[in-house]
Amino acid sequence: MQQTNEGQGLILAGKTAIVTGAGSGIGRAAAIKLARAGANVCLFDLMDDRTEDVEQEIRDMGREAEFYDVDVSNSGRMEAAFRAAAERFGSLDVLFANAGINGTLAPIEELTPEAWDETLSINLRGTFLAVKNTIPHMKTNGGSIIVTSSINGNRKYSGFGMSAYSSSKAGQVAFTKMAALELARYRIRVNAICPGAIKTNIGENTHRTKAVDDISIPVEYPEGSQPLEHGPGQPEQVADLVLFLASAQSSHITGTEIYIDGAETLL
Ligand code: NAD
């Protein structure tokens, strides 16, 4: 379905969006939703067939889509990719800084500094690099930045072994608030979204040590259950929130974190 504003056509017509982690899950759903609303979309991800599929799907809608093979934690590659995207599309209007990994889930006693660094590099440094490289291309016309954090950044129980992931997600919320304050003078809004469990491919590359399984505390509700959905939410439900934050319909919202978790956090 096309996303329109009554009588005003597509709500992101003529806009350009960058989506990191666009090859799968929440990023993929958001890239397609933003394109349906009229945006041309730059797809940032690691080389993967799945990203090429999204690129084709968006082109089939009659929008422009370009895939950039980039590791979000690599400063030089990120700078070059943003420059190339801006040269191709002109100014950038929307950034969805979404790429992320669970990384290694291990008790702190067993977590290696390398595993800690990997999670923080992709989730937190990757967000910093995306926002930093967006500013020169967004500061003239303003725009909207949306960061994918998680309910795990601020939760009474996230499961054992989540110290690196949860730290990266809490850091993203703090970074979002500071960025919103700094960038308001350019009319750039910055918000974080905090999904609960969403049905995606994020578990594919997660490494869980045996110790995590052995010491995890059983919770009253099975992991991933949500009062509203009785299970994980769908990436398309998160994409609806991304579209709202990307559009002028959220023009007075900045510096905040929005939970999208079917009340999972209240359990
Ligand atoms: P996913 O694995 O389906 O998609 C993540 C995408 O990010 C993949 O396409 C992957 O290739 C890409 N990616 C990973 N490392 C990258 C790197 N270094 N450079 C560029 N791209 C990279 O997972 P998802 O669930 O859609 O995750 C998206 C975001 O949502 C993540 O930040 C994750 O922490 C967050 N999140 C997910 C859930 C959930 O339950 N799925 C809940 C809360 C938050």
Task: Kindly give the residue spans of alpha helices, DSSP state H, lying in the chain.
Answer: 25-36, 49-60, 75-89, 113-120, 126-138, 163-183, 210-215, 235-246
Pocket flag, ligand 1, residue 27 (CB < 6 Å): yes
- Say yes or no: CB of residue 257 within 6 Å of ligand 1: no
Report the share of the chain in percent with pLDDT over 70: 92
Atom of ligand 1 nearest to the CA of 200: 3
More confident residue, 228 or 172: 172
Ligand 1, atom 32: nearest CA belongs to which residue?
Answer: 100
Contact 47 CB / ligand 1 (< 6 Å): no
* Ligand 1 atom index nearest CA of 26: 26
- The answer to whether the CB of 97 falls within 8 A of the CB of 131 is yes
Distance CA 27, CA 71 (A): 15
Provide Rg for the chain, Cα atoms.
Answer: 18
50 contact partners, CB below 8 Å, separation of at least 6: 23, 24, 28
- Provide the 3-class DSSP secondary structure of residue 216: coil
- For domain 16-259, give the fold: Rossmann fold (3.40.50)
Residue with tokens 């809004």: 189
Query: What average pLDDT is seen over the chain?
Result: 91
Predicted structure pTM score: 0.95
Q: Which helix (H) or strand (E) holds 28?
A: helix 25-36
What does the pLDDT read at residue 9?
73
pLDDT of 211 reads 80
Q: Which residues contact 210 (CB under 8 A, 6 or more apart)?
A: none
Give the pLDDT mean for 115-130. Answer: 98
